[in-house]
Structure 1
Amino acid sequence: MTAALFVLWSATKRLGVVTRAPWRLLLLALIATDFGVIFSYRSGRYDGFGVLLMSVAAWLMSVQNKTVRVVSLFLFCLLIPWAGPQFMPVLFTAGLVLFILFRWRYAMEVCSAFVGSLIGGVIFLAVLSATGRLGRYLNFVGLQKRSTEFFSALLERGQFIHHNYIPKDWSVPFLFAGALVLYISLRRQKRAVWRSALSYGILFTILLTGLLLVVAKFPTYYSYMVVVPLAVSVCAGLSMCEAGKARTAALLLCVLSVLAGAGLDTVAYVHDRRDHDYSRIENLVDQSVRADDIAYVEDQVYVAARQRARDVYYPISVPGPYDGNIFPLMSQEQKDSITVLIVRPTSAADAKRILGGSWFETGQELVPTGNGIFGNRNLGLVTQTLDDLRVFRRSAIAAQSERDQFSRKPAVTR
């Protein structure tokens, strides 16, 4: 993420869209404190790499020599499909908005980017096919099925399924409102804003949001895809706007965006630090998992358990009938190899039944305090705390000695 912000600083300066250093500092602050960006960072996801890709693409557009610019974009976009299918709608929308705003002025750049990504995609799929992984990859992407399920539930059953379909980025509405305030103000001043970064960010946000909602794949950790151009749009508008009510209103909305992101996360953490302390999970794992264990754990426990156990399984989310359930994808040998469970009490019975065999509870547990400032409200990662966890061990011939061994260890991690 740090590299992405440095590249974006350079790109906006070279392109002349955010002309003053204070506004570029604000740009970096808006991105770094955005709710969705913090969500990705706290989740340990790789979405910072997506911000880097967008920043590099913007930097390449700042290259003065047209031939070098076009060739560089072609080579860069060859790699986009390899980075992930989620970047293809971003690339398509970026090219479309360039064409809408500038017509044929950047036609060569857009064509080279599209052709490069198309060739890169064909090579990528060919490699998957040659290695026998194409079917699994297409199943993993699963866009057609997700879109069908979303609209079927909405139209036929009146059920609005929003988890991982609609982003919960509380910062974005303030950024978008700030961009609109600046656009309207500059238009009233009869300033030329149509072919500007301000218009680009607004139009890009509308089109990409619509596209991702249609394919029903716009989770919170993808919100950076609109946050980056939208933040650039706001800061470009501030660079163009003279001091006055419009600039004050836009700056106030920027402050609200920061508060809705970093502010909300900070308040939640400070009020309930203990239930956000991952060292409690690490302590539980240290007390309950041995180096030769093969464990099945809740997703929160995976990182800590993977550093200690011989192997670890967890309920990874995969599109299709096995979403959130890895057991049907495991062989009987793999199920039999699991020696320890660290699971929620509500999941324990099903896990033990599916894995088979005899299990005993070791008495070790992690019990959250449950004192979150937002109570039982679900505000995404802000209200996500440590799980209520229990430890179970597979019984063996020496089951009693196992119990005796673990009874000598602390019973509760609090």
Structure 2
Amino acid sequence: MSQPQISHQEKRAFFNGFGLIKDYGWEALFLIAIFVVFLLFNINTYLVYPIVAHDEVMFTDPAANLYFGNGFTSTAWEFQTKDEFWAGNAPLYSILLAAWMHLFGFSVLAARSLNYVLTIISAIAIWLAVIRLNLVTSSIRRVGLIGILLLSDAVFFSYRTGRYDSTTILVCAAALLAFSVTHPWLRCTLLACIAIFLPMAGLHLAAFSVIFCSLLLFYLRRSFVRECISLAIGAIMGVIFMLTLYFTNGALKGFIISTMGAHHSVTGKLGQAIVLKKTKHIAEYKDVLLVFFREYSFPILLALAIGIAIYQYRKGKLKFRSPLSFGLATSFCVPIGVFFLGKYPIYYVWMALIPLLICIFATFDEWKFNRKNGLHWLIVVALVLVCLMGLPRRLAAAASRGESIDYPAVEALVENNITKDDWVLSDYSAYYAAKKTGATVMLPNYTESSLFPSIPEKEKITVMIINPNTLEKVLTRVGGKWDNTGKGIRSRMEDYTLQVYRRSTAP
């Protein structure tokens, strides 16, 4: 039986992305150079910013336990014990991180470098997508788009803080690239497959996807219906898979409590207000306008977009269905919508910033830069400020505060005072060092929710490496008598001021 023939157009649709590297040679080489510098710079400054903190440890610990052979569990989660299957809101990142650790081991750099690589892959996907969708036709502007994206405050915060946000950016960037595929059945199939990972990458992407796809339906109308249905089918399949995963591992209840029952979701806020009479999280809705000022790059971009829109309106060139219009609609609808459906912290700002940035550069594509035009120079200054407010500002501020830490000193403190047989209550800043010793490590937020009256098995804790200023608070949960060993680290940074305490053996 003869094999079915694939048309030349179908082959071109499938392989067109590979040909772009050849067709845009100098641009691709220039971007490769940017990515190499980006990777080397981040690897060499990974301890300058940020400090090892709560969120990083919370999503690293399940991966570390999986890597060390202790199962997909965590002692940095407030809703479950260390023996339960971890039921977090973003398991995809922790699973990828565990695989990454099998390649590069367990360390601060190994954990943080995954986000650097994921960000590079996301940037490549966005670059390919804007070419294939013909959004930005100028090579220089495409390079500028990627450069500003990497330096902007929200994106910089996402890939430097050790959270899962780079995974969410990657999934959305992959969906954008899939949307550029010309063949309908292949495009819809790819979108459905990618959408399966949306809920596993981060549950807040459900809110973002609904809002973003609704805007696309409004602007593209019937031409986006098939794609929207494909994304919905994939996302539903992803939710079913995620719920099945947690149900079969006995963690579904913990998952529901830690997501829909927590105060960072609208259901949790309403539930706590009705059942527990806690209304403080409902009261947060009065601060809705603050969603536009979570970081420093986005307000500048938004002001720039509004300024361009006003200029175009006065010139009679403003079009309702245009990239600029869509970017502005996204900039207002996404922050407000996601905020009311849950929360909108700084690490969600990329959801509005990246679409707006792409739409602004798509608008620039209609312009020719004029050195004598003051407005054009004003735009350049605004874009430079967007960059300066991100990576340069945060690293400069961290360096001026002395945030860079001699982490080998932390490791030496831990290694000299902890054995693999210890049960350790560790401050977040000492987490990586304590975990490497093989000891059982618990974090300050472990079982901190109202579900647990106290820390399970707290009597087994033999040593604490904590900030001495938090001793009184810690003892209210741990109890018992503790001796100050006199061993510790004094730092100008309070987060890295550590003291070792041992359980007292005196009667």
| TM value normalised by structure 1 | 0.81
Aligned with 1:366 (options 460, 473, 489): 489
Tell me the residue number matched to 1:349: 472
2:153 equivalent to 1:26? no
Q: Residues 43 and 167 from structure 1, CA distance in 2 versus in 1: closer, same or farther, beyond 3 angstroms?
A: farther
Q: Residues 16 and 328 from structure 1, CA distance in 2 versus in 1: closer, same or farther, beyond 3 angstroms?
A: farther
Aligned residue runs from structure 1 range 11-410, under 5 A: 11-141=129-259, 142=262, 143=265, 144-146=267-269, 152-153=279-280, 168-191=294-317, 193-243=319-369, 244-273=373-402, 276-316=405-445, 321=450, 328=453, 330-331=455-456, 334-369=457-492, 386-396=495-505
| Counterpart residue type for residue 490 of structure 2 | V
Q: Are 1:344 and 1:390, in contact at CA under 8 Å, matched by a contact in 2?
A: yes
What's the secondary structure of 2:483's corresponding residue? strand
| Counterpart residue type for residue 158 of structure 2 | S
What's the secondary structure of 2:296's corresponding residue? coil
Tell me the residue number matched to 1:406: none
Q: Residues 97 and 319 from structure 1, CA distance in 2 versus in 1: closer, same or farther, beyond 3 angstroms?
A: farther
| Counterpart residue type for residue 393 of structure 1 | R
Q: Are 1:295 and 1:313, in contact at CA under 8 Å, matched by a contact in 2?
A: yes
* 1:299 to partner: Cα distance: 1.7
| Counterpart residue type for residue 51 of structure 1 | I
* 1:134 to partner: Cα distance: 1.5
Q: Are 1:177 and 1:253, in contact at CA under 8 Å, matched by a contact in 2?
A: no
Count of paired positions: 376
How many angstroms apart in 2 are the aligned matches of 1:198 and 1:318? 47
What's the secondary structure of 1:386's corresponding residue? helix
What per-residue deviation string (whole Å, max 9, x for no partner) do you get for residues 163-194 of structure 1? x9997312110111122223333344444643
Q: Residues 277 and 176 from structure 1, CA distance in 2 versus in 1: closer, same or farther, beyond 3 angstroms?
A: farther
How many angstroms apart in 1 are the aligned matches of 2:285 and 2:305? 33
How many angstroms apart in 2 are the aligned matches of 1:360 and 1:102? 67
What per-residue deviation string (whole Å, max 9, x for no partner) do you get for residues 44-82 of structure 1? 112111111111111011111122112221222123222
How many angstroms apart in 1 are the aligned matches of 2:453 and 2:383? 47
| Long gaps (5+) in structure 1 | 371-384, 400-414
| Counterpart residue type for residue 153 of structure 1 | K
Q: Are 2:292 and 2:299, in contact at CA under 8 Å, matched by a contact in 1?
A: no
What per-residue deviation string (whole Å, max 9, x for no partner) do you get for residues 268-300 of structure 1? 133233655544433432333233322111222
| Counterpart residue type for residue 6 of structure 1 | I
How many angstroms apart in 2 are the aligned matches of 1:320 and 1:394? 25
Q: Are 1:289 and 1:308, in contact at CA under 8 Å, matched by a contact in 2?
A: yes
How many angstroms apart in 2 are the aligned matches of 1:227 and 1:336? 48
* 1:353 to partner: Cα distance: 4.7
How many angstroms apart in 1 are the aligned matches of 2:405 and 2:367? 42
How many angstroms apart in 1 are the aligned matches of 2:496 and 2:430? 9
How many angstroms apart in 2 are the aligned matches of 1:241 and 1:148? 51
How many angstroms apart in 2 are the aligned matches of 1:250 and 1:267? 24
How many angstroms apart in 2 are the aligned matches of 1:319 and 1:180? 44
What's the secondary structure of 2:495's corresponding residue? coil
How many angstroms apart in 2 are the aligned matches of 1:133 and 1:365? 38
